Amino acid sequence: MKLIKNANILQADHTYCKMDVAYDETGIKEIKEHLEIEADEIIDANGLVLLPGLIDVHVHLREPGNEHKETIKTGTMAAAHGGFTTVMAMPNVIPYPDNVETMKAYLQKIKEDAIVNVIPYGCITKGEKSKELSDIAGLSKLGIHAFSDDGVGVASKDMMKAAMEACKKENAMIVAHTEDMDYRKPGACMHEGIRNKELGYIGIPSACEYAQMLRDLKLAKETGVKYHVCHMSAKESVQYLKEYKDMGVDCSGEVTVHHLLLNEMDVENPNHKMNPPLRGKDDQEALIQGLLDGTIDMIANDHAPHSEEEKNKGMVESPFGIVSIETAFPLLYTHFVKDTGRFTMNQLVHFMSEAPAKRFGFDKKGKLAPGYDADMILVDIDHKQTIDKEKFFSKGKNTPFDGWEVYGNIVTTIVNGTIVYKEERK
């Protein structure tokens, strides 16, 4: 048995209560004000907040195929550093996990190298080419219950409908990157709004996202499939999701940390280039309100590491994407909880742990309670630190948040009862 002593645990009324937690590799056993038990390992958490491990449903680990950007090991080390105990790995790796044989090899590599829980997505279509369905039935038998072609939209309406029908049979979820390339001109690299004109760049209109999303929502209503929208960025997307939820469609959505914290006017260099792009201030506010009113279900990262060489090619030629998994919680805690009070800590934990656990069927994750998995993090909410990309565990240093001052740094990350990250404290 292991024991955490004197931890500040968040209560439903937004207060903290000092508690002890007994746990082992099989889960949380007991939570009480004072526990006197024989323990093999004791952590004194005095002055620290204990939270359920964070869950990120949108992470790019890059391996296999692009190990110069990230590996399963470095990506999961970065996750642990950021307080994430469970991540879902997007399938745009090489070879694509669109068949049973490839997925088995992928799962084995994850088992060997990952230090946090990693649940991979299967591809919706073979090679993410929108031409032929992946082996959705076969992959489902392996325990893969969510499918995505993240990085591209499923171009064909008929193909997406067939995928939804196949997933409905397997009680699996479609997790969609919605992007209609008819709306994206060659060389487009940021939002079509105010700032792209100031900088002289070709813009990407919001319809590039919401037009295909609306197509998908109509199909989800028709087929009855579980449907989830990736990295929502446009106010119209928020409105469409609300409308279809109100109709009773089994749909959900996520928003990224960067779309909550930044907008088009913040764009300065390729570290502000991501897909979908940072949109207008009104879109940013709609995303925040969408979280608060329950339209948007959760916060994700879309952690997308690239090499410095790739990101140094300029706004037009550099790849889309930023890294964020190591800075997400401190950034959100500082801006939305500590500084502005727009979120309570309870809400932030819900958006980053409980809600993704519930939506994606992780029954024993997302809460601190006996019977739940021993996935936990200790957080120092009082210590100020400066984000330093050179201290990232990720291979990717492509962040717009370098130099930002934040609170809420992760001190210890525990996965399945084992410490996988511990801050070196002075």
Is 61 known as a binding-site position?
Answer: yes
177 is in an annotated binding site: yes
Q: Tell me what pLDDT residue 426 has.
A: 59
Structure confidence at residue 425 (pLDDT): 67
Alpha helix segments (H runs only) across 183-292:
195-199, 207-223, 235-246, 257-261, 281-292
Select from 16, 4, 1 the least CA-distant residue to 44.
4
Asked whether the beta carbons of 230 and 58 are under 8 A apart, the reply is yes
Is there a binding annotation on residue 92? yes
Is position 60 annotated in a ligand binding site? Answer: yes
Neighbours of 192 (CB within 10 A): 23
pLDDT along the chain (426 residues), means of 10: 97 95 98 94 97 98 97 98 98 97 98 98 97 98 97 94 98 97 95 97 98 98 98 98 98 98 98 98 98 98 97 97 98 98 98 98 97 98 97 98 98 98 83
Distance CA 345, CA 58 (A): 22
- The b-or-e profile of 320-345 (16+ CB within 10 A means b, else e) is bbbbbbbbbbbbbbbbbbbeeeebeb
What is the per-residue pLDDT for 240? 98
Per-residue pLDDT, 368? 97
- Residue 269 known to bind ligand: no
Neighbours of 59 (CB within 10 A): 29
For helices 72-81 and 100-113, give the axis angle rounded to 10 degrees: 50
Task: Check residue 90 and give its pLDDT.
Answer: 98
Do the annotations mark residue 320 as ligand-binding? yes
* Integer Cα distance of 305 and 60 in angstroms: 7
Is-contact 142 111, C-beta < 8 A? Answer: no
Q: Provide the pLDDT for residue 151.
A: 87
Q: How many CA atoms lie within 13 A of 9 on its CB side?
A: 17
The token duo for 116 is 């946090």
Q: How far apart are CA 273 and CA 258, in angstroms?
A: 11
| Residue with the two structure tokens 């990506």 | 75
Is 302 annotated in the active site?
Answer: yes
Name which of 130, 157, 165, 156 is nearest 148 in CA terms.
130
Q: What is the pTM of this model?
A: 0.97
- Given the residues 302, 373, 375, 380, the one annotated as active site: 302
- 321 labelled ligand-binding: yes
253 among annotated binding-site residues: no
Whether residue 368 contacts residue 376, with contact meaning beta carbons closer than 8 Å, is answered with yes
The verdict on whether residue 297 carries a ligand-binding annotation is: no
- DSSP annotation of 353 reads I
Closest CA to 405 of 424, 379, 383, 426: 383
Interatomic CA distance for residues 358 and 409, integer angstroms: 25
